[in-house]
Amino acid sequence: MKTTDTSGQLEEALERVHASGPEFEGWLTNHAPMVVEALAAHGHAGAVHRWLDLYRDRLDELPDRVAPVTDDNWPSALGDPRRITDWNDHFARSLAERPWRDVLAEWWPRLLPGLYGGATHVVIRIGHAVRALEAAENAPRLAELAHGLGYWAARHQPLTDLAVLPGAAPTATEALDAVPPIGKGHVGFRSRLAAVRQLPLWAQEVTDPDTARQRLAELVRASTHRYATHGHGEPTMLVHAATAPNAVLRTLDSLPRELWVPSLHAAWTASAAVTAMYAPDEPVSYEPPARLTAGEVMERALAHGDEHVIKLADTALDVGDDLALAAAVRAVEMSEPLVA
């Protein structure tokens, strides 16, 4: 169950995280801001500092500034990871001058085509930041949105030259089943992403905002369920097939309705692309060892500590049914725990 945290512990954790950059070891994503928000949202704000203490070795310094990003020169800085701090500064200024929803609405369509950057963590971080702001608006939460938008702009990575397979699948589950795997021989997210050439028709024909919302919720449910039987293909990376579209779904109500349809299109492409990149040879049947409540699932994820496990549990709790919770338990079983 999600709660509104008023303890100030999330704010303290975000201020601590904002002294660090969005990546470590060159390009791996810093998951700390997403995890601490998820924990606080589900009643575990008291654990955020203990979790950060375990994660601290993955908190690198912010990159140096290069040159200011402005309203005139921003296109030349888009997708340049050297400009992460410059982008953070730009969004901090924008959010100090204008309501955060106005800034988000302006930049969402500019950034949406590049949500594959940072292995989709760019949009996942925004989903967490928006949920925090919808619960309570204050300086650390606004700063988190600035950092999230800055990361997205700096790691902006479009997916181009994508063909659509003929024959629309009627459901999200069937559409994900129809995604052709890219095959073996590709190493690394960017290499695998470049190998994705075609995806099934499922969301592209949607033009109505309300239908887009319904389809997006269906996609989140189907991709979360699918993890229980297909997550063994790559237990870490296949988490993003569910968490990326869920980040988009969380953001819809903070966006103008005219942005809902393109949001669905981008979310479907992201989820389907990750599915293509890491699909196992065969699914496996899965039954959890015990039926757990939502609270017990999040407690188990927190005890395990892995950042992807916690984030999948967070999404599974949004979906809320038994199969989604089983998928979160499956992630606990397959993933390496976070240890000091």
* Sequence spans of domains, the chain: 9-154, 159-340
Give the pLDDT band (50/70/90) at residue 42: very high
pLDDT at 311: 98
Residue 51 pLDDT > 70: yes
Residue with tokens 């095959």: 183
Percentage of the chain with pLDDT > 70? 98
At 271-306, the pLDDT tens digits run: 999 999 999 999 999 988 888 999 999 999 999 999
Q: Which residue reads 């569910």 in tokens?
A: 242
pLDDT, averaged across the chain: 95
Phi, psi of 307 (to 5 degrees): -65, -40
DSSP annotation of 163 reads E
pLDDT(1) > 60: no
Q: Give burial (CB, 10 Å; 0-12/13-18/19+) of 124.
A: buried
The whole-angstrom separation of Cα 291 and Cα 43 is 21
Can you give the pLDDT at residue 4?
62
| Nearest 10 degrees: Cα torsion 132, 115, 322, 129 | 0
pLDDT at 339: 80
- What average pLDDT does the segment 126-144 reach? 98
| 121-141 average pLDDT score | 98
Predicted pLDDT of residue 289: 80
What angle is formed at CA 41 by the lines to CA 293 and CA 49, rounded to 5 degrees?
105
Continuous H helices in 182-293: 189-195, 209-230, 240-251, 260-278
pLDDT of 100-111, one tens digit each? 999 999 999 999
pLDDT band at 3 (very low <50, low <70, confident <90, very high): low
Q: Residues 212, 273: contact at Cβ < 8 Å?
A: no
CB contact set of 71 (below 8 Å; sequence gap of 6+): none
Q: pLDDT for 167-223, tens place per residue?
A: 778 999 999 999 999 988 788 898 999 999 999 999 989 999 999 999 999 999 999
Task: Say what the pLDDT of residue 25 is.
Answer: 87
Residue 2: pLDDT band (50, 70, 90) is: low
CA–CA gap between residue 126 and residue 247 (Å, rounded): 7
**d(C-alpha 15, C-alpha 19), whole Å:** 7
By mean pLDDT, which of 81-85, 180-184, 263-267, 316-320 is the weakest? Answer: 180-184
- List beta partners, residue 148: none
